[in-house]
Amino acid sequence: MKKAYIGLGSNLGDRLTNLIQSLEILLAEPQIFLEKVSSVYETEPVGGPEQGPFLNACALLLTDLNPERLLQKMLSVEKKMKRVRNERWGPRLIDLDLLIYEEVTIHTPFLELPHPRLAERDFVLIPLADIAPDLQIPNQDKKVMEIIKQRGQTKSVIIYQQQNWFKF
C-alpha cells in the first residue's frame, strides 16, 4: 500500500458535513483506506472572488491505486457531491486535492505532484502538520514543520474541530 496525503476544503453549505461526506464516499472505494485525519481548520480564502471562509483538513490515505487513478476517484467524489467549477479559486462545496503520493513527482496537464502550491499555503500546511509534521516534501529539502516555522506567523488558520471529527 502507498501513502497519499490529500487536502479537503469546503466553503459552501454545511461545510463540516461536506468534508465528512467526501471522505465517506472516497472510503467506499475498496482500494482506499484512511490512516489518519487532521483537525479541521477555518481559513480565509486565498485568491479568487470575495467569498466566505473555508473549512480545511488533510488526510493520510493508504491505497494501491496509482496517483492518476486516485485523483480520478477524488474528482469522482467531487462530481457525486455536485461540485460546480465556475471560476478558478471560486467558492466550492467540496475540493479534494492530491498533495503528496509517496515520493513521486509528476508534471502532466492532469496531475502535478507534489501539489505545486503546497508549501505556500498555511491552510494546507497546518492540517498536514497534524498528521505528518516530519514529512519530507518531495523535491524540497524541508519537512512540513520546518516550512511552517520558516513562513512565520500563520494567517487566518483557526482550529474549528479537533481530530475526532471523522469516525473511522
Residues acting as catalytic residues: 83, 92, 95, 97
Angle between helices 67-80 and 15-27 (to 10 degrees): 130
Angle between helices 122-131 and 144-151 (to 10 degrees): 140
| Cell numbers representing residue 6 in the block | 490529500
Q: What are phi and psi of 54, to 5 degrees?
A: -100, 160
Name the residue with cell 520558516.
150
Amino acid at 42: E
DSSP states along 75-135: HHHHHHTT----STT---S-EEEEEEETT--EE-SS-EES-TTGGG-HHHHHHHHHH-TTP
* DSSP secondary structure letter of residue 136: B
CA distance 99 to 148: 16
